[in-house]
Amino acid sequence: MTNFQGLPPVLTIDGPSGSGKGTIVKHVAQRLGWHMLDSGALYRLVAYGSQQNHLSFEDENAIAEYAAQLDVEFKLVELESGIETGQNGQDLQIILEGKVVGSELRTETTGNAASIVAAMPKVREALLQRQRDFRQNPGLVADGRDMGTTVFPDAEAKIFLTASAEERAQRRYKQLKEKGISGNLAALLQDIRRDINERDERDSQRSASPLKPAEDAILIDTSGLSIEQVVEQVMAVCEKSFDVK
């Protein structure tokens, strides 16, 4: 399937941290049998890799150069643990400079560092073509903040997922509790609320590709909805926009 320009089809799913995008994108990509782009992982990799290589976050040129040369491989491997399922029975392994990176990318610290490097226009520019290269047949589901506005403005279908800041904080808190995190839980919830607010503020106030819905995006408020309910709403959009069932 290609669009009128001969390009593979794209569905963009944007939204703030904790809106459930990652999970929804995996389910939808699996249902469609399409590729997936987790653009947040690229910003996380740049932040994490820059820190590992002792680059200063004050030096935008150095970070942008690192982003342009980012030595990363995304590899589908047979699933052992059942956690973080990418495709059916498979897991997406991320290899940065020859080393597998996993949980260290998903920490709050790396998420916050990612939002700092993501505010640098030269870093965004350096990652642009790399993201566009994920557009391959039979199609792509792209997850991020600016997929519909900047990276794939010509996408055939665009979705913007929202949820109140409190709901997003509660979801993250629940995830951490399920992972068995102990300590002062009330203080933890306060910290998560603060982090979410800070990240929302930084992502939506920056001048380069701020977080905002594309004019032609369909808004879905996921507050109070189950994963299945959101996936069904997204699939309904896909059925209207693409030749899929």
Q: Which residues bind ligand C5P (CB under 6 A)?
A: 17, 39-40, 43-44, 111, 114-115, 118, 144-146, 199, 203
Least distance from ligand C5P to the Cβ atom of residue 206, Å: 8
Minimum distance, C-beta of residue 199 to ligand C5P, in the bound complex (Å): 5
Minimum CB distance to ligand C5P, residue 160 (Å): 12
By C-beta, is 91 or 203 nearer to ligand C5P?
A: 203
Cβ proximity to ligand C5P, 9 vs 111, nearer residue: 111
CB-nearer residue toward ligand C5P: 57 or 244: 57
Instruction: Compute, in degrees rounded to 10, the torsion defined by CA atoms 198, 22, 74, 147.
Output: -70
Min dist CB 41 to ligand C5P, Å, is: 6
User: Residue 30 is encoded by which pair of tokens?
Assistant: 């699996």
Q: Which is nearer to ligand C5P, 114 or 220 (CB)?
A: 114
